[in-house]
Amino acid sequence: MYSSKVSSLTRLNQSTHLFRRSFFNQTYINGQWVSSQSGETFKVYNPSNGKEIGSVPNCNNQDADKAIQAAYDTFHNKWSIKTGKERSVIMRKFNDLILKNKDHLAKILTTEMGKPVKEAAGEIVYGASYIEWFAEEAKRIHGDVLPSATVNRRSFVIRQPVGVCGFITPWNFPSSMILRKAGPALAAGCTIVIKPAEDTPYSCLALCDLAKEAGFPDGTINVLTSTRSAEIGKFLCEHPLISKMSFTGSTEVGKKIMAMCASTVKKISLELGGNAPFLVFNSADVKQAVQGAMASKFRASGQTCVCANRILVQDGIYDEFIAEFTKKAKEQTVGDGLDEKTILGPVINQDQYERIIDFVADARDKGAKIITGGKEKKGKNSGFFIEPTIIADVKLSMRVAQEEIFGPVASIIKFKTEEEAIKIANSVDVGLAAYLYSQDLSQVWRVAERLQTGMVGINEGLISSVEAPFGGVKQSGFGREGSKYGMEDYVNMKYICMGNLKDVDRTS
Give how far the C-alpha of residue 137 lies from the chain's centroid of Cα atoms, to the nearest Å.
Answer: 20
Facing residues of 71 across strands? none
Cα–Cα distances in Å, from 462 out to 29, 141, 292, 295, 482?
36, 30, 7, 7, 16
Rounded Cα distance, 80 and 497, in Å: 23
Please choose, from the candidates 141, 192, 200, the residue with its C-alpha nearest in 3D space to the C-alpha of residue 176.
200
Cβ partners under 8 Å of residue 319, min gap 6: none
How many residues does the structure list for the chain?
Answer: 508
Dihedral over Cα of 255, 363, 301, 201: its sign: positive
Q: How far apart are CA 273 and CA 13, in angstroms?
A: 36
Instruction: Output the CA torsion sign for 41, 190, 209, 107.
Output: positive
Q: Give, in degrees to the nearest 5, the angle at Cα 7 between 6 and 10.
A: 95
Neighbours of 93 (CB within 10 A): 18
Separation CA 350–CA 339 (nearest Å): 21
- With contact defined as beta carbons under 8 Å apart, do 211 and 360 qualify? no
Give the Cα-Cα-Cα angle 49, 53, 58 (nearest 5 degrees): 125
Whether the Cβ atoms of residue 481 and residue 181 lie closer than 8 Å to each other: yes
Let me know if 387 is a catalytic residue. Answer: no
In angstroms, the CA 222 to CA 286 distance is 48
Catalytic site residue from 119, 123, 137, 271: 271
Strand extents, DSSP E, 149-227: 154-161, 164-168, 191-195, 221-223
Instruction: List, by residue number, the catalytic residues.
Output: 271
